[in-house]
């Protein structure tokens, strides 16, 4: 093995460790419990949760410019420190909704600094060490480590919350602190920086000659990703916890075990996606995502304890499937159009997620069961529209590995 290969292996291992440690969010599973413990209403809780998504999107143009000026590892370092400050701010905010929103915005800004920036560094390394073919494999493997981090941290955070609800927040900070120092070991040279315009906004001009018409042709694919992934995340951070704690009155530790099923299911569905597609057909796999969400909603309405074991597994199935499905479909498009479509999908996902959190929280102020029924109806109608667009376009879903 040459010295170059040894060096490349070292930076990749460091990349894996960074992805694993930086996603160790012990507090995330108990965030809703924490907010309700602060005597916040459903709507106020939704506003605090939504502040994260709005901050991510609002800061993207700023981060895109900073990445062009600063070393990328410096951007990552600052991002991890912003997360630390935001998480500590959540604990110290008391019952102040404004302070909680500002703290969430800091965390969102920090995540925006890291989202995509580490991938740009990986792209630089694979190009430098002439290992371009390894990029997709490294990204896929790192995603598995992220699911592992979410699984372990989710269960651990719930158990710690049984002792003290503030513990998961305080103990998340050392992981982000450690991640900030890990990035200082990243190799970065003064080279021509990759184009990061796709990180800032989904402008149609990045789509090449097809422009707006090219993105409009893919509108049903983009909406499939944005709507379904936003719904999954809204269920994960708001709907499912509310049903468990407010309606079923389960303990925080018990909730951690149930949440572990979500991460495990997401991990396995992502790994077995290709096999599922070959066995059941591509159309069936695409239909499984909204179907899993609708069935989850029906099961939640049943208020049966056995249903609470099935719901996180179904949500995990959808979560682990939607991204590789859509990215695999977009992979066949021309480079510029693919980049613009991916950017648009992520852009609208963030806005839909924040909007859904606010809308669902407002509906739950009126009626929890009635609000969930409205969410189901909207999701069903959007799924029917997307299916009609698929049929009209004549496009065949592609589940190529991303």
**Residues 156, 230: one domain?**
no
**Residues 146, 255: one domain?**
no
Burial class (CB in 10 A: 0-12, 13-18, 19+), 134: middle
Each residue of 10-53: pLDDT tens digit?
888 888 899 899 989 999 888 988 998 899 998 999 999 999 98
Asked if the structure places residue 233 within a domain, the reply is: yes
Burial class (CB in 10 A: 0-12, 13-18, 19+), 305: exposed
Position 330 confidence tier, pLDDT thresholds 50, 70, 90:
confident
Asked if the structure places residue 199 within a domain, the reply is: no
At residue 85, the pLDDT reads 96
- Lowest-confidence pick of 214-218, 232-236, 296-300, 367-371: 214-218
Give the residue from 131, 160, 188 where a domain finishes: 188
Question: pTM (2 decimals)?
Answer: 0.79
Among left, alpha and beta (phi > 0; psi -120 to 50; other), residue 56 is: alpha
**Residues 136, 106: one domain?**
yes
**Residues 346, 264: one domain?**
yes
At residue 396, the pLDDT reads 52
Q: What share of the chain is helix, strand, coil (3-state, %, to 5)?
A: 85, 0, 15
At residue 335, the pLDDT reads 63
Asked if the structure places residue 114 within a domain, the reply is: yes
**Residues 23, 165: one domain?**
yes
How is residue 245 written in tokens?
Answer: 């704690």
Can you give the CATH number for the domain in which 374 is found? 1.20.1250.20
Each residue of 124-179: pLDDT tens digit?
787 777 776 777 677 767 777 887 888 888 888 888 988 999 999 999 999 999 99
Across the chain, how many H-helices and E-strands are there?
Answer: 18, 0
Q: What is the DSSP letter of 304?
A: -
Q: Which whole number is the average pLDDT over 228-251?
A: 84
Asked if the structure places residue 287 within a domain, the reply is: yes
> Is residue 198 within 8 Å of 343, Cβ to Cβ?
yes
Among left, alpha and beta (phi > 0; psi -120 to 50; other), residue 394 is: left
Domain membership of residue 172 as a residue range:
1-188
**Residues 263, 347: one domain?**
yes
**Residues 279, 136: one domain?**
no
At residue 198, the pLDDT reads 43
At residue 101, the pLDDT reads 96
> Is residue 30 within 8 Å of 158, Cβ to Cβ?
yes
Each residue of 334-345: pLDDT tens digit?
667 777 787 788
The number of folded domains in the chain is: 2
The CA distances from residue 347 to 43, 140, 227, 231, in Å, are 24, 21, 11, 15
Give the residue from 160, 188, 216 where a domain finishes: 188
**Residues 113, 26: one domain?**
yes
Each residue of 182-223: pLDDT tens digit?
998 887 765 454 444 444 444 444 444 455 566 777 888 888
Asked if the structure places residue 259 within a domain, the reply is: yes
> Is residue 339 within 8 Å of 116, Cβ to Cβ?
no
> Is residue 95 within 8 Å of 39, Cβ to Cβ?
yes
Each residue of 60-81: pLDDT tens digit?
888 888 888 888 889 999 999 9
Q: Is the pLDDT higher at 373 or at 176?
A: 176
Asked if the structure places residue 345 within a domain, the reply is: yes
Q: End-to-end CA distance of the chain, in Å?
A: 28
**Residues 395, 293: one domain?**
yes
Of 389, 385, 362, 388, which is closest to residue 375 (Cα–Cα)?
A: 362
Rounded percentage of the chain residues whose pLDDT exceeds 90: 22
Asked if the structure places residue 196 within a domain, the reply is: no
**Residues 231, 120: one domain?**
no
Quote the mean pLDDT of the chain. Answer: 81
Kindly report the backbone phi and psi dihedral angles of residue 2, in degrees, each rounded to the nearest multiple of 5, phi listed first.
-75, 165
Asked if the structure places residue 193 within a domain, the reply is: no
Q: Is the pLDDT higher at 110 or at 134?
A: 110
**Residues 294, 170: one domain?**
no
Each residue of 382-391: pLDDT tens digit?
888 877 776 6
Which segments of 331-367 does DSSP mark as H helices, in order? 335-366
At residue 1, the pLDDT reads 60
Burial class (CB in 10 A: 0-12, 13-18, 19+), 282: middle
CA 9 to centroid of chain Cα atoms? 27
**Residues 243, 386: one domain?**
yes
């Amino acid at each position: 093995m040459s010295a170059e290969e040894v060096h490349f292996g070292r930076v990749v291992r460091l990349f894996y460790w960074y992805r694993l440690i930086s996603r160790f969010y012990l507090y995330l599973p108990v965030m809703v419990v924490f907010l309700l413990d602060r005597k916040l209403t459903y709507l106020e809780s939704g506003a605090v949760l939504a502040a994260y998504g709005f901050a991510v999107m609002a800061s993207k143009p700023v981060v895109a410019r900073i990445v062009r000026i600063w070393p990328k590892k410096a951007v990552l370092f600052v991002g991890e420190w912003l997360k630390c400050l935001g998480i500590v701010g959540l604990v110290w905010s008391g019952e102040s909704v404004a302070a909680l929103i500002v703290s969430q915005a800091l965390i969102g800004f920090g995540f925006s600094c890291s989202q995509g920036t580490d991938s740009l560094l990986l792209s630089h390394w694979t190009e430098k060490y002439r290992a371009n073919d390894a990029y997709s494999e490294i990204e896929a493997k790192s995603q598995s480590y992220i699911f592992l981090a979410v699984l372990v941290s989710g269960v651990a955070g719930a158990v710690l919350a049984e002792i003290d609800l503030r513990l998961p927040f305080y103990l998340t900070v050392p992981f982000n602190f450690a991640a900030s120092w890990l990035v200082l070991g990243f190799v970065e040279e003064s080279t021509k920086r990759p184009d990061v315009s796709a990180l800032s906004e989904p402008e149609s001009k990045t789509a090449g000659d097809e422009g707006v018409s090219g993105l409009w042709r893919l509108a049903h694919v983009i909406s499939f990703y944005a709507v379904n992934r936003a719904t999954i995340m809204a269920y994960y951070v708001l709907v499912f916890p509310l049903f468990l704690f407010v309606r079923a009155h389960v303990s925080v530790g018990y909730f951690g075990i149930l949440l572990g099923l979500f991460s495990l299911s997401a991990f396995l569905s992502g790994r077995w996606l290709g096999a599922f597609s070959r066995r059941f057909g591509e159309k069936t796999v695409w239909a499984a995502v909204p179907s899993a969400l609708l069935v989850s909603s029906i099961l939640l309405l049943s208020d049966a304890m056995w249903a609470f074991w099935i719901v996180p597994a179904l949500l995990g199935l959808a979560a682990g499937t939607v991204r590789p499905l859509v990215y695999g479909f977009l992979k066949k498009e021309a480079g510029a159009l693919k980049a613009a479509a991916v950017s648009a999908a992520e852009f609208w996902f963030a806005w839909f997620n924040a909007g859904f959190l606010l809308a669902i929280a407002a509906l739950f102020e009126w009626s929890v069961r009635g609000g969930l029924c409205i969410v189901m109806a909207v999701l069903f109608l959007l799924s029917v529209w997307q299916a009609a667009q698929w049929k009209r376009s004549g496009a065949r879903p592609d589940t190529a590995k991303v």
